[in-house]
Structure 1
Amino acid sequence: MIKAETNTAFFPFNIISLLTQVLPGAGDSIKRSLESILSYSKDVACVQQALKAFMSKGITSVSPLFYSPDQAIKDTSVNTSQGLYGSRWRLIPQQGKRCQLGAVHTWVVENTNHKIS
């Protein structure tokens, strides 16, 4: 449950975009689950192209993909994210939780032109 005083927002397009970006590198069971949740057919390429076309109409979406060094990231995920969405996977520093949150916070501030601080 989100409390009224928190500063949280959910944007359906960003959630769908993010899940679509990780789909190509997901393992079989996770891939099937994501396809089911998103109501995608086995051929997700048409959805990826539709999202890219939607973004080319002036919609700006910035969706970083942060990961820790202990996670194995498949090349298909990296290539799809970069090719279709211009997104890059970013390594989260391992110097502690404050440093990790600081890295994400800095990225958000810079990539929203300081509109979200």
Structure 2
Amino acid sequence: MRAMNATKTPSPKTDLAVTHVLAQLLERLEHSAVPVGAEQYRSVVMHLVDEFREVEAGTGLGQLLDAYPAAAEVYENLNYQHAGLCRSGLDASLAAELAAKDAITRAMRHAEPDATHGQG
């Protein structure tokens, strides 16, 4: 029985107190009027990454990420391979998609006259 317990994966953390403090600290560093040292910034981000790997996804985490955009960006980058830019605003994503479609349409219109001149 002991061997079974040794291979059991730990359950995700549900207490977000440490994650909250780190997210708040990162937000302060992001908006600091005083230059922040790279090592300090990196340390906070790495600790936050460690917390994100251990915390349970859910409503509490979603609310925390909504409150702290810098932490949300770290979370999104950490989980990009699984969910893409899942926390990016839908309005911004939709606007970017529509702008890209418009640009492609304009480019295709400009390319059509050139294609017909080359055939004749």
TM-score where L is the length of structure 1: 0.33
Q: Write 1 or 2 for the structure with the bigger share of helix.
A: 2
The structure with the largest strand share of the pair is 1
Could you say which structure has the larger radius of gyration?
2
TM-score normalised over the length of structure 2: 0.32
